[in-house]
Amino acid sequence: MSTTPLAPAASPAPEASHAPGASPRPVAHPSYLGVDTTLRSWLLTTDHKRIGVLYLVTLLATMALGGFFALALRIEHLTPNATIVSAMTYNRMFTLHGVIMVWLFLIPSIPSSFGNFVLPMMVGAKDVAFPRLNLLSYWIFVAGSILVLLSTGIGGIDTGWTFYPPYSSISATAVPLALLGVFIIGFSTILTGLNFIVTTHTMRAKGVGWMRLPLFVWSIYATSIIQVLATPVLGMVLLFVVVDNGLGWGLFDPARGGDPVLYQHLFWFYSHPAVYIMVLPGMGVVSEVVASYARKNPFSYKAIAYSSLGIAFVGFLTWGHHMFVAGMSKFDAGAFGVLSMLVAVFSAIKVFNWTWTLKRGAVALKTPLLYIFAFLFLFVFGGMTGVATASMSLDVHWHDTYFIVAHFHFIMVGGTLTAFLAGLHYWFPKMCGRMYPERLGMLSAALVFAGFFVTFFPQFLLGNAGMPRRYFNYPPQFQVLHIVSTVGSWVLAAGLILTAFYFLWSLRWGAPAGPNPWGSRSFEWRTASPPPKHNFRREPPFEIDPYDYTQPLPDEVYQ
Amino acid sequence: MDILRAILALPSGGSTVADRIDLLHGFVITVTMLVSTFVFVTAAWFTARYHRKQDDQLTENVSATRGGEAVLIVGILSMFLLWWVIGFRQYVEVRDPPEGSEVVYVDAKQWMWKFAYADGRVSNDALTVPVGRPIKLVMTSRDVIHSFYVPGFRVKQDVLPGRYTTLWFEVKEPGTYPIWCAEYCGVSHSLMRGEVRALGADDYARWKRQGDRPPPDADCGRGPGSCGDTSLVEQGRLVAERRQCVACHTLDGQKHIGPTWARLYGSERVLADGRRVIADEGYLTRSMMEPTADVVAGYREVMPSYRGTLTAGETSALVELIRSLRDAPAPSGITLPRLEVTAASDGGTSP
Ligand code: HEM
Ligand SMILES: [Cu+2]
Ligand SMILES: [Cu+2]
């Protein structure tokens, strides 16, 4: 297997030079990093690339915070009763862990960082359609996140990330503040989605038709549609809980005439589509990475592109599968079950397409591709356990147990997080102009995969055995599996910390990447790394397809 | 079966539905394992087989065929639909209590389970049932949402405030089976545990004679300490008088300001807006808590809401009373003279 570190496609270092002969202006242009280096120029930037980097740095910080809570939760479960914290603290921690990971990390993760950075380049544009709105979206996100984190300071919140009333209507913790924070973050989600939709429609360069868009654009486009349509429902329902809890309205509290099941319908009307907000962008990364390292066209471009839209659409019709035992009619339950099966078929189509893209390719095994293999295994497993829970009699047993916890972590961590890490390794050279150390990358990918599996696989078994989720005390017969799971979380953490170290190291000492270290045909690789402020110095003709590996890549770099 | 359970870490199957559900479980999980391994191995094999040989290697375009795609989609979809068909049928079975189930009322609150049996006794956290007979639980909560979960029976149902939900099971073997609350309900959620004690016929008969006495402060509808030997139906009668339901409803089949309760339970109700619903526990409680939600055709909307007035214990007693009247003699058709009762007392807290 090729582990030769960094054999970039023989291009010279980015800032020192430019592609031979092709560029019309023989001077080196400052990269987007070099144009202006003041703090102010960063905080008030409207450059999509800088905003992407701002998001990336912020999101890595929130992920670290969420991860810190996760490790603490796992340590708590080393023993059946109190280990390091009290029950109340435990409840606040799992709530914060969930809220941070879902709204402060996973939902914006890939779209706001890599989407912002590469989507405009992929469509051949200078920037997104509304650059200032983009900056606003970032600061709204920061403001909302600060509110959420402030709520920790004034008592935290102990309802679980699902905020089910009437518990959330009467909980004495800082529910209103935290929910307002999430509410505000919602605006950022909507603005980003809107921006990407308009950018994809109106900013495509000449020659970049819909069927020539890199597949990542398709998946971000589908995600954006969900973001724009579903997030308002979340906003509304969260406000209702805020007035219930803060002002005693009782819209969802039966003691005051409200209906708690209505809340669940509204919440999942957003939150099931939201799971696709989290996973569709990851699927986009997979499509890019697989094609680039296999040097081959996708097995079926259209199937991958359209199934993204299919998921976005049918994903809106399955929310009821979260409520099979919440008190819904048998007919409704059956209908939601069957619709859930449909949405899974779209994902299955993608999985087989990615795998068969490797066939007759010229595959180079690099860290991102290793992560994609982890993704394939974990996502298929996690997705099929989703289908299993939609086989309704099984869900009666599994609902609200560790089985469900394992199911969604397989997809959200095993799927989205590994895709995020794949994307990080894949585009890092583009963002910073430097390579990461390949061997260490492979090592940490292996650690992340192993750690993840050891952490979450036992949770399927715990769920089968009947261990309910959100339990502080647990019956002692579950201790062995809990210990295994906790040890796994340390391996996972080790892999991630190692990754953080070598990326920091590479920022300064990594080998120069050159414009296109992977030999990809996708448009973002046709400019320098890091790219100049306006992405392409000349209007590029994009004469060859983003997945055309039948002919050599023209030498020209449009920097 | 035992091997399957051991591999999947499932508890032994104590109820009549457990075996079939576990078989489906085994089937579904086996396919899941096989498919994910298959995808992973195929990807790894392609990677090894089509390894990049030189740095600027080119490849031919390879594309899926329409036929291949169709076969794939149909294959996957039929596997999923097969699971759904089996799962849905089992789900319906788990949800529909068989005719003639024995009823126990469950009253959940932070952080305990209270059980009220038809003969008037109550117990906390321990539910005693006979083996070999279907048991139907009619459940409500006094505060937040809880979820009644017996892993050994493979059944679970959320327990909601202001509504009644039902769950049934039939135990196969005598023994004790843990009950865990599965819906997060606050700081002691994980301590909200109980157990089902399933007794053989003899033991059950003995328990019926002696039983666990109700705790002295138990609430059977007349405030703390009101649990005596009166059966739940008897208590229901008392509540109906105390809360003045009988000002508008009769128990003997006669029409009054409101419909009679005789033969009401289980019958089909025609509502003012044309809908037809079966009068089950859910409908009955809704009629008390939210009378305007389902107005019976031919009656005026004069019944006050009892939400927040009736305690959960009182509500169970009333529902049990109405259930006991399902086989009452046929209505005589006489209409009592109308008393001018206004809904003024808004729930009538005075005795
Ligand atoms: C593709 C990405 C997916 C993600 C990110 C995802 C995520 C989640 C999450 C977060 C939950 C638990 C929510 C909670 O209760 O806190 C969940 C539950 C569930 N998922 Fe998925 N899921 C995905 C795919 C699927 C698929 C394809 C299906 C079915 C076809 C499915 C079926 C279910 C069901 C039935 C539940 C509810 C189980 C229960 O609470 O009893 N999921 N999923
Ligand atoms: Cu869902
Ligand atoms: Cu609970």
Please give the average per-residue pLDDT across B196-222, as a whole number.
71
CATH number for the domain spanning A483: value is 1.20.210.10
As residues whose CB is below 5 A from the ion ligand 3, the structure lists B 146, 181, 185, 189, 192
Task: Determine whether the shortest distance from the Cβ of A411 to ligand 1 is under 6 A.
Answer: yes
Domain assignment present for residue A389? The answer is yes
Q: What is the pLDDT of residue A392?
A: 93
Please give the average per-residue pLDDT across B170-189, as a whole number.
93
Domain assignment present for residue A16? The answer is no
DSSP annotation string for A500-551: HHHHHHHHHHSPB--S-TT---SGGGGS-SSPBTTS-SS-----S-TT--SS
pTM: 0.82
Q: Most B CBs within 10 Å: which of A159, A164, A397, as the mutation test of the B interface?
A: A397
Q: Most A CBs within 10 Å: which of B38, B58, B93, B283, as the mutation test of the A interface?
A: B58
State which of A279-283, B98-102, B293-297 shows the largest mean pLDDT: A279-283
Give the length of chain B: 351
The answer to whether B318 touches B312, Cβ cutoff 8 Å, is: no
Nearest residue to A282 (alpha-carbon basis) of A101, A436, A111: A111
List Cα–Cα distances, B236 to A18, B139, B233, B317, in angstroms: 89, 17, 5, 4
Q: What are phi and psi of B126, to 5 degrees?
A: -125, 120
Q: What is the pLDDT of residue A370?
A: 95
Place of tokens 């039929």: B78
Amino acid A224 reads S
Domain assignment present for residue A479? The answer is yes
- Prior bond of B111 cis (ω within 30°): yes
The answer to whether A314 touches A345, Cβ cutoff 8 Å, is: no
Domain assignment present for residue A189? The answer is yes
8 Å CB contact of B186 and A260: no
B316 pLDDT tier (thresholds 50, 70, 90): confident
What does the pLDDT profile of chain A (559 residues) look like in tens digits? 333 333 333 333 343 334 443 444 444 568 888 888 888 989 999 999 999 999 999 999 999 999 999 999 999 999 998 899 999 999 999 999 999 999 999 999 999 999 999 999 999 999 999 999 999 999 999 999 999 999 988 888 999 999 999 999 888 888 899 999 999 999 999 999 999 999 999 999 888 899 999 999 999 999 999 999 999 999 999 999 999 988 888 899 888 888 999 999 999 999 999 999 999 999 999 999 999 999 999 999 999 999 999 999 999 999 999 999 998 899 999 999 999 998 899 999 999 999 999 999 999 999 999 999 999 999 999 999 999 999 999 999 999 999 999 999 999 999 999 999 999 999 999 999 999 999 999 999 999 999 999 999 999 999 999 999 999 999 999 999 999 999 999 999 999 999 999 999 999 999 998 889 998 999 899 888 899 988 887 777 777 889 999 988 876 776 6
Fill in the DSSP letter of residue A206.
T
Q: What is the pLDDT of residue A10?
A: 36
Residue B341 pLDDT > 50, yes or no?
Answer: no
Q: What percent of chain B has pLDDT over 90?
A: 40
Contacts of A321 (CB under 8 A, 6+ apart): A272, A336, A337, A340, A389, A390, A395
Taking the centre of ligand 3 as the mean of its atom positions, its distance from the CA of residue A263, in whole angstroms, is: 18
Residue B222 pLDDT > 70, yes or no?
Answer: no
Place of tokens 């025609």: B270
B340 pLDDT tier (thresholds 50, 70, 90): very low
Domain assignment present for residue A5? The answer is no
Domain assignment present for residue A119? The answer is yes
Number of domains, chain A: 1
Taking the centre of ligand 3 as the mean of its atom positions, its distance from the CA of residue A162, in whole angstroms, is: 14
From the CA of A342, which ligand is nearest?
Answer: 1
pLDDT, one tens digit per residue, over A82-101 is 899 999 999 999 999 999 99
Q: What is the pLDDT of residue A514?
A: 87
Domain assignment present for residue A22? The answer is no
8 Å CB contact of B84 and A391: yes
- What does the alpha-carbon distance between residue A246 and residue B304 come to, in Å, rounded to a whole number? 29
Please give the average per-residue pLDDT across B28-53, as a whole number.
92
Domain assignment present for residue A33? The answer is no
B230 pLDDT tier (thresholds 50, 70, 90): low
8 Å CB contact of A396 and B94: yes
Domain that holds residue A236: 50-254+261-558
- What does the alpha-carbon distance between residue A191 and residue A228 come to, in Å, rounded to a whole number? 8
- Bridge partners of B106? B115, B139
Taking the centre of ligand 3 as the mean of its atom positions, its distance from the CA of residue B315, in whole angstroms, is: 22
Count other C-beta atoms under 10 Å from residue B276's C-beta.
9
User: Which of A186-190, B72-76, B252-256 has the lowest average pLDDT?
Assistant: B252-256
